[in-house]
Structure 1
Amino acid sequence: MHQPSPHTAPLLDIAALRKSCSSCSMHQLCLPMGLDESDMLRLDSIIGRRRVRRDDTLYRIGDKFGSLYAVRAGQFKTYQANPDGARQITGFQMSGELLGMDAISTDSHQCDAVALEDSEVCDIPFARLEELFGDIPTLLRHFHRIMSKEITREQSIILLLGNMRAEQRFAAFLVNLSSRYAARGYSSTNFQLRMTREDIGNYLGLTIESVSRLLSKFRKEGILKVDKRDLELADFPALKILAMGADTCS
């Protein structure tokens, strides 16, 4: 897969996505370092490719678990249903991240996964992956690290929604996106929000009006530059201070 622009995440390049794991620009994020060529070929042999159009569903709550999905290009959102039937977004996933680990213990998916844009995933049959774990210990250790990161992410969400005021929640959300884009070789300060303001509000426990007000507030304070869904983090140090719960004026 061709290398992304240093400024913004590229649109989906279907021709480039036909290449194997070893040539994918995201493989260092979702695969362990140190796999030799034969191990990489064995892993690549079990992986399928699946395209998911914008707003289409990768899997639904209750679907039988069979595969994990590594996001190869594009972005997704996952959500569950609250007791009252309302949807609660539980995360946004981008290139190099895994989807479907929620289903390993129950053998069925516990959330819906929907594409935020035209996307492609690597379909990794879990039964065949487990067979490789016995032969490739490095792969198993890497999988354990991924699961640990997922637990940490969920704990961070609880903290985000439980203890932070609205301004801090939104700032922390943007700082998190910034770091994730940077890890993928994209700009950490110029990117596009693939999710809607309504989705962001749902995820952060805020109304869409609150999200719009915060965008306007941050823009007026010179922290952000906003053009529809395009963002520039104009004063990243100030944004980080807000995310930590401090007052930028202090």
Structure 2
Amino acid sequence: MTPQAIKVACSNCNLRELCMPMDLSVGDLGRLDELVATRRKIRRGAPLFSNGERFTALYAIRTGFFKTCIATEDGRDQVTGFQMAGEIIGLDGIVGDHHTCDAVALEDAEVCVLPFDRIEELSREVPALQSHVHKIMSREIVREHGVMLLLGSMRAEERLATFLLNLVQRLHARGFSQSELVLRMTREEIGSYLGLKLETVSRAFSKFAEEGLVEVKQRHVRILDTDALRAVVAPHEAGAALKRCA
């Protein structure tokens, strides 16, 4: 969809503390307001960017959920991550000036467009912005390490428990419940991300429900026993790694 030419003021955005540096001077904050010139609305199922597309900007998610995925040799879509409001997406394009994955909206969404050449220019003048971009990139590295540990050492129930705990923690940081969430992704997409078959994900959900750890009503999930769910993954470093990068 064509970007809407609307002025966006970061200083007045309720997600600023999640996607922009904190403790900026009034002058520096005013300069950051100049960084975001447009917003884009993305309909559910539509791509924000696609593999091979020229990289020009990072995107701060204002509303909605996204998944990133790559096409495997046999034609399947491998989900590599889920992103939500307050997070920055598009870092994959920095290294080669082209995006290396698809970013698809899981629901109607809106993003703030951050032209990367402008980010580089302002980073030289506002050190806090440069530091913040480095922290975002570092967080993505830590997240990838956590996923590698998760896929390499965890059983199915441990993978799903880690995923749910990480997701609800990220949502809570945005003002949502500590124990309830609505899954914007399908169980098949969760399985793709966790390296599990759809049937295995469904069995793990059923097991958690039978043991009184969660209550599941279609895509609505309520965590009934957070401590017990944490105990499922407590022995593994992967759970801690994903927690650190939330």
| TM-score computed with the length of structure 1 as normaliser | 0.89
Offset, 1:19 = 5.7
Pick aligned residue for 2:81 from 87, 91, 114: 91
Pick aligned residue for 1:196 from 186, 197, 216: 186
2:31 paired with 1:46: no
SS in 2 for 1:117: coil
Residues 67, 114 of structure 1: CA spacing in aligned structure 2 closer, same or farther, 3 A cutoff?
Answer: same
- What is the aligned partner in structure 1 of residue 23 from structure 2? 34
- What is the aligned partner in structure 1 of residue 108 from structure 2? 118
Matches within 5 A, 1:176-187: 176-187=166-177
- What is the aligned partner in structure 2 of residue 139 from structure 1? 129
Contact residue 168 and residue 245 of structure 1 kept, 8 A: no
2:53 paired with 1:66: no
- What is the aligned partner in structure 1 of residue 216 from structure 2? 226
CA distance in 2 between counterparts of 1:84 and 1:53 reads 27
Offset, 1:149 = 0.4
- What is the aligned partner in structure 1 of residue 118 from structure 2? 128
Unaligned runs of 5+ in 2: 1-5, 237-246
Contact residue 164 and residue 245 of structure 1 kept, 8 A: no
Offset, 1:44 = 1.9
What code does the residue aligned with 2:178 have?
Answer: S
What code does the residue aligned with 1:197 have?
Answer: R
Offset, 1:18 = 7.7
Offset, 1:159 = 0.7
CA distance in 1 between counterparts of 2:11 and 2:180 reads 28
Matches within 5 A, 1:202-213: 202-213=192-203
Offset, 1:96 = 1.0
SS in 1 for 2:34: helix
Offset, 1:178 = 1.4
CA distance in 2 between counterparts of 1:78 and 1:68 reads 14
What code does the residue aligned with 1:134 have?
Answer: R
Contact residue 69 and residue 102 of structure 2 kept, 8 A: yes
CA distance in 2 between counterparts of 1:177 and 1:243 reads 15
- What is the aligned partner in structure 2 of residue 3 from structure 1? none
CA distance in 2 between counterparts of 1:18 and 1:192 reads 31
What code does the residue aligned with 2:210 have?
Answer: K
Contact residue 35 and residue 114 of structure 2 kept, 8 A: yes
Contact residue 64 and residue 109 of structure 1 kept, 8 A: yes
Offset, 1:36 = 2.1
Contact residue 8 and residue 39 of structure 2 kept, 8 A: no
Deviations 1:218-246 (A, max 9, x none): 01100001111111000000000112248
Contact residue 8 and residue 33 of structure 2 kept, 8 A: no
Offset, 1:37 = 2.4
CA distance in 1 between counterparts of 2:14 and 2:234 reads 32
Offset, 1:184 = 1.0
CA distance in 1 between counterparts of 2:165 and 2:235 reads 13
Contact residue 61 and residue 87 of structure 2 kept, 8 A: yes
SS in 2 for 1:46: coil
Pick aligned residue for 2:154 from 156, 164, 182: 164
Deviations 1:66-120 (A, max 9, x none): 0000111111000012233321100000011111101101000000000011111
Unaligned runs of 5+ in 1: 1-16
Equivalent pairs counted in the alignment come to 230
What code does the residue aligned with 1:192 have?
Answer: V
SS in 2 for 1:85: coil
Offset, 1:39 = 1.9
Note the aligned Cα RMSD (angstroms): 1.4
CA distance in 2 between counterparts of 1:18 and 1:240 reads 43
| TM-score computed with the length of structure 2 as normaliser | 0.90
